[in-house]
Amino acid sequence: MSDNKYLDTIAASAVITDDARVAEDVKKIIDGHADENRNLDVYKFLFNTIDLTTLKATDSPVSVSNFTEAVNRFEEEYPELPNVAAICVYPNFAQVVRAVLEVSDVDIACVSGGFPSSQTFPEIKVAETSLAVEGGADEIDIVLNVGDFLDGDYESVCDEISELKEACHGRILKVIIESGALKTAAAIKAASVLSLYSGADFLKTSTGKEYPGASLEAAYVMMHAIKEYYEKTGRRVGFKAAGGVASTDDAVKYYTLAKEILGEEWLNKEYFRLGASRLANNLLSDILGREVKHF
């Protein structure tokens, strides 16, 4: 054992970090199982796991209100279908969504902590998170401090996640590891392990902003880290793919990985999410068999 608990915790993980092996395993799972999941029941399930997202510079109280109204109308226009899991917005719009949202089983998620770069003062990250919760957020999506992580300052990374978890006051904390910036399976594993042991309730792939978004290879590593953590601690943590998950087929592939790696216990919106803006209409169109542009 070293005198560094962070390095020890990472070293104790048996999650695969050979990039070629990861890619090979992903291909084997998708080739072997994706076809069986290309059906209406799975499409409806996937729709119900969407964090319907608007994170634009042009967002305003009016546009976010209209965005939320579309979710309210969905309940009326498609009563036979499950609604999305959550509406994801910037933290300053939590109160807008809370005031407009009429659907009880749709949560309010807010990005926080200096999203998407995580580059601001720790005190501001805590204040922003607390204000989002006060404004009505049920879930908080933060970005792991990638700069500190790449510098090897794991103590700062973990302390910040723990502090922001506390600022959530019992709400769900999703930690975005920005897998596209980390690139390798070894780095993705390390970031996942540190996030899990610092209190993350979800591991999320990406912001979808500056770096490449979700990849099946990153998801594979993250899901194995989640499974291993559950086996060691008994605490079940969710997985969220975000950034470029736009087509029904994309969504089915992440579902297939979750089913084969994590198992049926993770196949519900409490532990599986897809962060998306375009996916909702694409899935809805495939469910109904005609082009739909509801959102």
Residue 55 has which token pair? 């994170």
170 neighbors 137 (Cβ within 8 angstroms): no
> Any catalytic annotation for residue 240?
yes
Count of beta carbons in the 10 Å neighbourhood of residue 233: 11
Q: Assess whether 141 carries a catalytic annotation.
A: yes
3 is catalytic: no
Catalytic residue among 138, 141, 201, 250: 141
Strands 86-89 and 107-112: parallel
**Among residues 125, 165, 204, 227, which one is catalytic?**
204
Q: Which of 125, 174, 227, 240 is catalytic?
A: 240
Phi-psi region of 42 (alpha: psi -120 to 50; beta: other; left: phi over 0): alpha
* 3-class secondary-structure state, position 104: coil
Q: Which letter does DSSP use for residue 119 in this model?
A: -
Q: How far apart are CA 65 and CA 256, in angstroms?
A: 34
Angstrom distance (rounded) from CA 86 to CA 269: 9
Work out the angle between the directed axes of helices 154-167 and 122-135 (0-180°, nearest 10).
Answer: 30
- Residues identified as active-site: 141, 204, 240
